[in-house]
Structure formats: C-alpha cells, structure tokens
C-alpha cells in the first residue's frame, strides 16, 4: 500500500484506475461502524448478539464504501468511453471523488458522465432490495441487512441528484443549461449557486435538528454542508479557469526561435544574440534545414573557456527528439500534456513549420496570471 500526500493510501487499480483512501476515511469508517452497531442494526435486526451487530456493522460499512467506489467507477468508465482520462478515485470522509484528466468538451458528454454514478447506485439499490426480498423469508437477519444496504444506496443516488455543484445533480443541471443556452460560464454559475444553496440548507437543518432533538450527531450535516459550499465555490473557479485556458492557444504564448547556422560558435551566439537581445532559444540550421534546438541549459553546461572553440552543433539537442504541439492547441490541453509526459518544453508547429517553443515555465507563468484574475 503506497501513500500519495494529496490523495492518501493507494489500495489497488480497477480498470486501470488507481483507487486511493484518504486518511479522513478511517475516521468516518469508525463512526459509521459505531452508529450501525449501537443504533441502526439493533433497530433493523432486533434480538441478535452484540458481537453480531459489530461484525455486521463492519461488513455493512465495507460494502457501503464498495458501493461508493462502484458509483465513482460509473462516472469513470463513461468518462473513458468519451476519451477523457481518469487519474484516480479517492474515498474520503464525505464519500468518493473521481479525478478526471481533463474537462468535458460537450454538454452531452457531461450529462452522461454525471448521471452514470446515480444510475449505478440505483442499480445497486434494486439488486440489494431484490436479494432482500428473496432471502428475508428464510434468513430474516440477512434480509434486513440487505435492506439496509439497499436504503443506503438509494440514499446516495437521491442525495447526489440535488441540482447543485459539486453533486452529480449539479453537473446534470449544468449540462442541460449549457446544452440549451450554449453558455458554459452561465451554466456553471447556476449550478454553483445551487450547490451553495444546498450547503446552507444542510447547515440550517443540522443546527435545527441538533437543537430540537438535543443530539449533536446532527452536526455532521453542518460539516457536510460547509464542505459542499467550499467545493461549489472551488468548482466554479476551476471551471472559469478551464474556460479561460481553453480560449488561449499556443500561438498566443509561444516563444519565437532565432535561426543560427550549425557552425556558429557558442561565444558568437552569446555576444550577438543572448547578451544583445536577450534571446534564449535557438533553432540550429544545416544548409537552411532545421536540425537542432539550443536552450540556455545546453549553453550553461559548457564551460565558458570552451565557448570560443565550440560550434553550436556540438551541444544542440537533436530536433527529432523534441516533442511537437500544434499552434492551435489550447493552453489547457498543453498543461495536461506537460503533466502526463513530464517534458519541460515542446516545439510549436503551424502547417509543418516550426513557429516557436513553449516551456513549462511559460505555461506556469500564464496559468498563474490567469488564475489570479478568476
């Protein structure tokens, strides 16, 4: 079991998707087991021993979280069917979340990805309820146990269908508004407001029930409501950032390259270009054809006493080994490629011509400037 500082402990891979457990999950697991063993299961299955209640509570909680994993796998597999990569699924104190490798591009895709999770939960409800109906007459304890799992899954489905971010219902609402209006930002704003409204309703309900019943367990609704409000705001900001980055093309941000001949000495390159004009990236030509790339890193690796005797062809990067991206590629897609490949730079190509270069530092600078305005 490996540990990711952001996601938590890695459990396994399912359909090629890493499954993580956040440390907060263990606290919630213990609380749910305690609640089931001390309260819910004795109510559903009266007359059994304490040992049975505790063992059944552990099994029920594990199956419940497996159901949540199946819910997130529903989102993930539909995402992959649309060509959208899935980085991971993480179970945490408030459920689970599937982290997609990129944003959806069409309202139709978002609708099916969002609704897939509740469909899985509803299917699990029907499965557990059907099994309960079959088994109850011969094994009433197990039948009651399956009924509880059925109710938990239908609860997950219904809860997630509330029309507000970050819940599935919020994404369904956004896909509908987006599809009708064609306005992604407006659709996102409406869904985010719905999520914040739902969060405030949960907080108010938790406080009122805690006061009326004199039971602090309802404060869990307050925490959940606050969590939903925070995520709704974050989702809105992330969507705005995605929209802005998707409208910025590499043609708008690439660094132009200076062409130099392959027999140019490094000392002349430094004097004529770097020191005089501040240019740092160069294409090395051989008889008018580009064959290599030169960056500050290659120059600085060469000891300065050798600059006046070393031609640039001796330290250049072979152009064939450098990745290439189209000039009309969005900055959002470029960021994902930098993350996936680990590369520090790409050539920017337009109609098979090398127009310039985009570096990781360039992308980080533009990303920081864009997010600061959101």
> Token digits for 41?
């299961």
Q: How many C-beta atoms lie closer than 10 Å to residue 21's C-beta?
A: 21
pLDDT range class, residue 4, cuts 50, 70, 90: very low
Angle at 304 between CA 299 and CA 307, to 5 degrees: 70
* More confident: 116 or 164: 116
pLDDT range class, residue 72, cuts 50, 70, 90: very high
pLDDT range class, residue 143, cuts 50, 70, 90: confident
User: 182 vs 165, 188, 237, 245, CA distance in Å?
Assistant: 19, 11, 19, 18
Q: What are the domain boundaries of the chain?
A: 2-161, 182-246, 250-371
Share of the chain above pLDDT 90, in %: 28
pLDDT range class, residue 325, cuts 50, 70, 90: very high
Task: Look at residue 7 in the predicted model and tell me its pLDDT.
Answer: 57
Closest CA to 166 of 233, 108, 110, 246: 233
User: 33 vs 50, 64, 132, 184, 208, CA distance in Å?
Assistant: 13, 11, 21, 42, 25
Q: In DSSP terms, which residues pair with 325 in a beta bridge?
A: 348
Average pLDDT of the chain is: 86
Task: Look at residue 217 in the predicted model and tell me its pLDDT.
Answer: 67
CATH code given to domain 250-371: 3.10.580.10
Cis check for the bond before 176: say yes or no (omega within 30 of 0): no
pLDDT digit string (tens) for 267-308? Answer: 988 888 888 777 778 888 888 788 888 888 888 889 999 999
pLDDT digit string (tens) for 14-62? Answer: 888 999 888 888 888 888 888 888 877 787 778 778 888 898 889 888 9
| H or E element at residue 64 | helix 50-81
Lowest mean pLDDT among 70-84, 114-128, 164-178, 220-234: 220-234
- Is 6's pLDDT higher than 60? no
Angle at 109 between CA 364 and CA 371, to 5 degrees: 20
pLDDT digit string (tens) for 329-350? Answer: 988 888 878 877 888 889 999 8
Contact between 18 and 10 (Cβ < 8 Å): yes
């Amino acid at each position: 079991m490996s540990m990711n500082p952001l996601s938590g402990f890695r459990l396994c891979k399912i359909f090629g998707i890493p499954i993580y457990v956040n440390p907060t999950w263990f606290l919630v697991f213990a609380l749910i087991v305690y609640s089931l063993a001390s309260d819910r299961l004795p109510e559903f299955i009266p007359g059994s021993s304490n040992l049975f209640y505790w063992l059944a509570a552990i099994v029920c909680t594990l199956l419940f979280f497996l159901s949540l994993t199946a819910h997130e796998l529903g989102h993930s597999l539909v995402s992959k069917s649309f060509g959208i990569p899935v980085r991971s699924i993480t179970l945490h104190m408030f459920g689970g979340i599937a982290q997609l490798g990129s944003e959806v591009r069409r309202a139709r895709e978002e609708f099916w990805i969002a609704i897939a999770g509740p469909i899985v939960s509803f299917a699990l409800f029907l499965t557990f309820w059907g099994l309960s109906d079959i088994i109850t007459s011969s094994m009433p304890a197990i039948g009651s146990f399956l009924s509880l799992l059925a109710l938990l899954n239908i609860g997950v489905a219904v809860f997630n269908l509330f029309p507000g971010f970050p819940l599935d219902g919020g994404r369904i609402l956004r896909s509908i508004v987006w599809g009708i209006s064609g306005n992604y930002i407006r659709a996102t704003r409406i869904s985010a407001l719905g999520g914040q409204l739902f969060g405030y309703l949960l907080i108010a309900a938790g406080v009122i029930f805690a006061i009326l019943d004199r039971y602090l367990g309802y404060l869990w609704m307050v925490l959940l409501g606050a969590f939903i409000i925070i995520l709704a705001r974050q989702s809105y900001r992330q969507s705005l950032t995605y929209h802005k980055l998707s409208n910025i093309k590499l043609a708008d941000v690439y660094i132009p390259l200076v062409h130099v001949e392959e027999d140019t000495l490094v000392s002349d390159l430094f004097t004529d270009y770097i020191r005089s004009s501040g240019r740092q990236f160069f294409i090395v030509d051989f008889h008018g054809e580009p064959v290599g790339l030169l960056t500050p890193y290659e120059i600085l690796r060469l000891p300065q006493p050798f600059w006046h005797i070393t031609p640039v062809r001796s330290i250049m990067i072979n152009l064939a080994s450098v990745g290439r991206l189209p000039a009309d590629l969005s900055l959002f897609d470029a960021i994902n490629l930098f993350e996936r490949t680990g590369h520090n730079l790409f050539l920017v190509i337009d109609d098979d011509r090398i127009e310039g270069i985009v570096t990781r530092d360039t992308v980080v600078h533009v990303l920081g400037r864009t997010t600061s305005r959101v």
